[in-house]
Every structure is written in C-alpha cells, then in structure tokens.
Amino acid sequence: MNNSNFKFFLLTILLGFFTSGISVRAQDSVNVCTQTLNDAQDAYDAGKLSGIPAMLEGCLKDGFTRAEKLSALRVLILTYLFQDEDELAEQTLLALLKEDPEYKVNEALDPAEFIYLYNTYRTLPVVSIGLIGGVNQSRMHLSQEFSTDNINNSEVKYSPGMGYQFGVIADILLYKNFQINTAILFSGKKYQMDSEKLFSYTNLNLIENQTWMHLPVTLKYNFGKKKLVPFIQAGMSLDLFLASSGNIKRTSIENDNDASGPSVQMSSLRNKLNYSAVFGAGARYKIGYGYAILDVRYNLGLRNIVNVKNRYSNNELVYYYGYIDSDSKLHNIMISVGYLKSLYKPKKIKVKNA
C-alpha cells in the first residue's frame, strides 16, 4: 500500500469513528432525556415538585422529541400551578401552544386547574390565508331593452357561458364560529346573446368575454369544529371591470348579406365600477395546520354593467352589425377549491364567572 492510499484509508477510519461517536452520543442524549421525562413524571406523581423545573430544563432546550417536549411542558405547567406560580404556568402554556398551536386538553385526564388555564387562552387561528381557483357560469339579466330596430320586432335571448376564477382568499376570526371572509379574485366571464329577426331579415349572435377583479367581503358561519366543517356566508363584493371583447356574427334569413369579422373591443361600453350581493355555502376539511376548502357562491349583480353614455359610441357594432347594448345586470355562480394555511397567535382572554 503506497503512502497516499494509506493516508486515505486512515482518514476514512477516523471519519467513521467520529461520525459513529456523534451518533452514539446523540442516541444517548435521546435516551437520557426520555428517562428524564419519566423521572419528572414520577416526581410529579409523588408530589416532589420543587426539583422538576431544573430536571427538565436541559432537555427542553435540546434533547426531547416533539411529543416528549409537549409532555414535559404539560408536567411543568402542572408543577407551576400546584406551586401557585401562576405567571410561570402561563408562560409555559404559551410555550406549549407555540410548539403545538392546536394542542387540546384531555377533559377526562387533565386536572381542572390545567383545563381552566387552557380555557383562558384563545387557541383558534386568528387568520387563515391561501389560494383558491375554479370555474364560473355567468348569466346576463335584461333590465331594459335597446335596439337598432323596433324592440317589438325582434326577440333577444341570453345564454350562460362558462369561465374561470383564481386568487387569494382569507378567513379572519371574528367570534367563535364566525369569520370575516375576504379575497382578491380575478375572473374570466362569458355569456352569449342572440337577437332573432332583427329588421325581420337577420339574426345576431354575440359571445362576449370579460375580465374582472373582485373584492368580496362576507360574514361566514362555520357549523362546528370537527374535521369536516360546513359553512354558509353572505356579504357584498366590489367588482372592478377590466376588459372585454366580443365575437359577433350577423346571419341573414333570406339572402347572403352575412357579416362577421375579428373580435370587437367592448371595454368602453362597460361600467368600470360595479357591485354585487354575495350568497354562498361550502365546506372545509382539516389538513395539517390548515384546511382544504370547497367554496360555492352566487354573485347577484346590482348595477347595470352598460355604460349608458357610450351606448352608441362603437360605430362598427351599431352600423355594420346593427347591435346596441341593452341595460343588463350580470349574475354569476362560482365554484372554487383551494387550501388555506392557519396562522395562530395565542392570547389571554377573559373568562366569565359562572
């Protein structure tokens, strides 16, 4: 064996001993801390409370597994409670809730003092935030008809179209099962308009694609606190119109005087600021420190989306196709799925005396 190979062999042996030693010491540390937790529990059961904080101090800093740390903090809280060290008990409870924000007391096994202390703290998430997305269906509801022809001579029909939405959503704790739900949503909406027998000889077909931003705020009520939680909600939404274009086609009934062309920009024909009432329901399913959500909501348009000042401003639509906007409100149903991450901030609350 030459000199370089010998040095490499020696280095490998030393490295193996070194890493093995670290592993053994780490394992020993785990075993020691496990025994320390057992000793602390035995001391608590025997009423020997004074030495427990010092006994657990080292392993609480580094040595316990997560489950052991939670058990050790519980023993420490109980120790402080029975020593009338209320301030230290509260500080330790906050440490426990920081380690596990969803820690739950055991009503059957935990002492009443521990349960009482736990109930004096807010343990629900203050806010849950996440992403959501899905599909929607839009329906135009005619409120007043306008036409280039006598409105009694033609028949106007609106058909729903499918679109999409996505964005950021948040649930903010209000009180117990009540939350404020808000979001920033971007959506693409579509509907179809058919006008038959215009001037008695032509039919019009318009498919309009719109882009919106929605800022809804609703009051949300959750039914219970189980893994699967249904909810209902209601509120308002500020709806900002961003852009739209229409694909329009004129088909003659009796001759070949048809007309079609590239999409027509219709943004100037729409009101930029709109609003709607929101009604909804859904369910959430607990996953980790958050939940998956199914959100179904109906947006009831409350304002005419047509800019009446610009109704006749698009010469191509008016004179080439014979189309004029009728006053209409846009209603929309949204079906979305998503995931929200819960954020916790335990806080002391007042407890009403019985």
* Structural domain boundaries in the chain: 3-100+109-122, 127-343
Which residues are within 8 A (CB) of 257 and not within 5 positions of it... i.e. 6 or more apart? Answer: 201, 202, 250
pTM: 0.79
Per-residue pLDDT band for 6 (boundaries 50, 70, 90) equals low
Least confident of 1-15, 98-112, 128-142, 293-307: 1-15
Residue 197 has pLDDT above 90, yes or no: no
Residue 185 has pLDDT above 60, yes or no: yes
Fold that domain 127-343 belongs to in CATH: Porin (2.40.160)
pLDDT tens sequence across 314-350: 999 998 888 999 999 999 999 999 999 999 988 888 7
Residue 225 class from Cβ within 10 Å (0-12 exposed, 13-18 middle, 19+ buried)? exposed
At 181, which amino acid appears? Answer: N
pLDDT score recorded for residue 67 = 92
pLDDT tens sequence across 30-86: 588 999 999 999 999 998 898 999 999 989 988 899 999 999 999 999 999 999 999
Which residues are within 8 A (CB) of 303 and not within 5 positions of it... i.e. 6 or more apart? Answer: 271, 274, 275, 329
